Amino acid sequence: MPFEKRDFGFKTEMHKATCADCKQECEVPFKPDGSRPVYCRECFQKHRPKRF
């Protein structure tokens, strides 16, 4: 299983997924269950709620 080293000193298991917008393969730090769309880093920024 792929792991990515984080600055926090622990490793996070990364899971392969397909972006719901651009359809490119990406990796996310959670196991997608199909109940919600998964976005790559770039598309997530477009769908992220606005901060006040």
Q: What is the pLDDT of residue 47?
A: 86
Domain around 41: 3-47
Residue 12 lies in a domain: yes
Residue 35 lies in a domain: yes
pTM over 0.85: no
The torsion angles phi and psi of 5, rounded to 5 degrees, stand at -75, 130
Residue 11 lies in a domain: yes
Provide the domain count of the chain: 1
Q: What is the pLDDT of residue 49?
A: 82
Q: What is the pLDDT of residue 48?
A: 84
Residue 15 lies in a domain: yes
Q: How far apart are CA 13 and CA 2, in angstroms?
A: 6
pLDDT tens profile 1-52: 455 555 566 778 999 999 999 999 999 999 999 999 999 999 999 988 887 7
Q: What is the pLDDT of residue 5?
A: 54
Residue 52 lies in a domain: no
Quick count: other Cβ atoms within 10 Å of Cβ 49? 5
